[in-house]
Amino acid sequence: MRKVRDYDAELKALGDKARALKAKRVEQLGQLVTATGADALDAETLAGVLLDAIGSKDASAKEAWRAKGAAFFQRRGRKGGGAAAIDGPGAATEPSGDAADGSGSAANG
């Protein structure tokens, strides 16, 4: 005889896993904000920058932002092991001016 599946338990387990993954993503995004120095911005400014980036139709600006982000993660990787090193000991030593200075010039040029 086949074992009866407990669909309710499986759905609950999937829901718990989805909540855990969402919480982990939120934590990682917070770590990214801190690692880039964007935590020095007030919440309204940071939200405005992100909304402009989402709404931007300028493909060259988006590519410049992507390249700058990739370079950021490559620098982080050399310092301590890749993107997972965002919350590592070197996070506070990143210059905070890089992210703010570069995104403004990429959007303007």
- Write down the pTM of the prediction: 0.59
Confirm if 99 and 64 have CB atoms less than 8 A apart. Answer: no
Sign (positive or negative) of CA dihedral 20, 50, 83, 59: positive
The predicted pLDDT at position 79 comes to: 63
The predicted pLDDT at position 77 comes to: 75
The predicted pLDDT at position 2 comes to: 84
The predicted pLDDT at position 58 comes to: 95
Dihedral angle computed from the Cα positions of residues 42, 28, 93 and 100, in that order, rounded to the nearest 10 degrees: -40
- Average pLDDT for consecutive 10-residue bins of the chain (109 residues)? 89 97 97 94 95 95 95 80 46 42 43
